[in-house]
């Protein structure tokens, strides 16, 4: 077994964040906000990295070749990368060196601008939230439930699998029971005791935070954290993919249907979720929503 700590892939050719491969885990890396890689020759799912006691197994998933110590890694090939060895995500570019980090800490060097380590990047905040007693609601062997730190409604929870799944694109038919379990946990432990509220459960088509998370959100949207059109539309257009639709898509097609074009849904005109009113702006919408909310409480 790998003793302690984790592996880091540290970029040599540019100031990029370290990619952290936690002890004993598998990570899919590629073009994403997490790696900061924008080069379109790198697929979103470019390499599968698995840490072992000897080093990191690199498996090519994307169509463009990666290079392990100068040796090409064609699609679906695997090679072992050892401590201090070099990986290029594409030919001659994006060069990373494997570092065994035994300290298990952010490896920023004093006096130098800290390198952004995976676990300290803002997009990794949900991993930290899962350990935060103020936010953690419950967990079991498969999932963890936290309160959303910036709730967009009276009740807003996130249900996260413990299995490392970076994005919705990592979900396949094999995750059906996991997603069903996420829904069941929400129904049994979150929604059941809050009968005065209507809830929806679903996933943002293009999430900003790493690790798959299902939003469980009350439909009053009565919260000071709901501030922008983007916030509203992310829960009230097709950008919000209901858990039942995620389930039927992974069961029938083996994947969730998302595309970068769905981003445009965030700038659609505002429409109330209770009636056909089309408010001019968010303050008008929020004032209007309070009327529905108060009417329901009477």
- Residue 207 binding: pick among ligand AMP, Zn ion, none (C-beta 5-8 Å cut-off by kind): ligand AMP
Residue 60 or 209: the one with the smaller Cβ distance to ligand AMP is 209
Which of 277, 279, 282, 284 is in the footprint of Zn ion by CB under 5 A? 277
46 in catalytic set: no
121 class by beta-carbon count within 10 Å (0-12 exposed, 13-18 middle, 19+ buried): middle
The answer to whether residues 131 and 119 touch, using CB atoms and an 8 Å cutoff, is no
The reply on whether position 230 binds ligand AMP by CB under 6 A is no
Binding positions for ligand AMP, 65-94, rule CB under 6 A: none
Query: Can you tell me the distance from the alpha carbon of 44 to that of 88, in angstroms, rounded to the nearest whole number?
Result: 15
What is the Cα gyration radius of the chain? 21
Q: Is the dihedral of CA 58, 64, 68, 71 positive or negative?
A: positive
The answer to whether residues 143 and 181 touch, using CB atoms and an 8 Å cutoff, is yes
The reply on whether position 135 binds ligand AMP by CB under 6 A is yes
The reply on whether position 228 binds ligand AMP by CB under 6 A is no
Query: Can you tell me the distance from the alpha carbon of 145 to that of 185, in angstroms, rounded to the nearest whole number?
Result: 9
- Residue 125 binding: pick among Zn ion, ligand AMP, none (C-beta 5-8 Å cut-off by kind): ligand AMP
DSSP annotation string for 149-210? SS-SSSSEEEEEESS---SGGG--GGGHHHHHHHHHHIIIIIITT-TTS-EEEEEESS-SSS
Choose one: 7-15, 146-154, 179-187, 267-275; the region binding ligand AMP (CB under 6 A): 146-154
Which of 55, 161, 202, 207 is in the footprint of ligand AMP by CB under 6 A? 207
Phi then psi dihedrals of residue 147, to 5 deg:
-85, 140
Q: What is the four-CA torsion angle of 40, 163, 147, 209, rounded to 10 degrees? A: -10
Which of 10, 44, 65, 149 is in the footprint of ligand AMP by CB under 6 A? 149
The reply on whether position 286 binds Zn ion by CB under 5 A is no
Residue 46 or 213: the one with the smaller Cβ distance to ligand AMP is 213
Helix (H) or strand (E) segment spanning residue 291: helix 282-297
Binding mask 255-274 for Zn ion (x = CB under 5 A): -----------------x-x
Query: Can you tell me the distance from the alpha carbon of 23 to that of 237, in angstroms, rounded to the nearest whole number?
Result: 39
The reply on whether position 202 binds ligand AMP by CB under 6 A is no
CB of 149 to ligand AMP, least distance (A): 3
Which of 150, 184, 283, 294 is in the footprint of ligand AMP by CB under 6 A? 150
Query: Can you tell me the distance from the alpha carbon of 20 to that of 8, in angstroms, rounded to the nearest whole number?
Result: 5
CB of 39 to ligand AMP, least distance (A): 23
Token pair 């009740």 is found at 155
The reply on whether position 145 binds ligand AMP by CB under 6 A is no
Choose one: 15-23, 143-151, 275-283, 284-292; the region binding ligand AMP (CB under 6 A): 143-151
Which of 148, 168, 185, 221 is in the footprint of ligand AMP by CB under 6 A? 148
The reply on whether position 125 binds ligand AMP by CB under 6 A is yes
Tell how strand 56-60 and strand 47-51 pair up: antiparallel
Measured in residues, the chain has a length of 298
Name the active-site residue from 46, 156, 213, 215.
213
Where do contacts with ligand AMP occur on this chain (CB under 6 A)? 125-126, 129, 135, 146, 148-150, 204, 207-209, 213
Where do contacts with Zn ion occur on this chain (CB under 5 A)? 272, 274-275, 277
């Amino acid at each position: 077994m790998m003793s302690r700590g984790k592996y880091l892939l540290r970029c040599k050719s540019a100031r990029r964040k370290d990619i952290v491969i936690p002890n004993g885990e598998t990570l899919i890396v590629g073009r994403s906000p997490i790696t900061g890689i924008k080069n379109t020759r790198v697929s979103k799912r470019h390499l599968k990295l698995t840490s072992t006691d000897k080093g990191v197994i690199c498996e090519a998933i994307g169509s463009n070749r990666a290079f392990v110590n100068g040796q090409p890694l064609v699609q679906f090939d695997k090679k072992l990368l050892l401590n201090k060895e070099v990986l290029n995500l594409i030919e001659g570019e994006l060069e990373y060196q494997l570092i065994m980090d035994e300290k298990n800490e952010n490896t920023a060097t004093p006096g130098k601008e800290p390198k952004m380590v995976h676990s300290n990047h803002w997009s990794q905040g949900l991993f930290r939230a899962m350990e935060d007693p103020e936010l953690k609601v419950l967990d079991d062997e498969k999932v963890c439930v936290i309160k959303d730190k910036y709730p967009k409604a009276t009740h807003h929870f996130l249900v996260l699998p413990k299995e490392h799944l970076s994005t919705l694109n990592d979900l396949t038919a094999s995750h059906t029971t996991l997603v069903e379990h996420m829904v069941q946990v929400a129904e049994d432990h979150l929604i059941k005791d809050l009968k005065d509220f209507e809830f929806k459960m679903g996933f943002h088509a293009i999430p900003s935070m790493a690790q798959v998370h299902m939003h469980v959100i009350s439909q009053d949207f009565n919260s000071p954290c709901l501030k922008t059109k983007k916030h509203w539309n992310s829960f009230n257009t097709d950008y919000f993919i209901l858990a039942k639709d995620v389930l039927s898509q992974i069961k029938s097609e083996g994947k969730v249907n998302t595309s970068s074009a769905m981003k445009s849904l965030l700038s659609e005109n505002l429409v109330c979720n209770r009636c056909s009113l089309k408010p001019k702006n968010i303050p008008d919408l929020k004032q209007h929503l309070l009327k529905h909310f108060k009417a329901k409480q009477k």
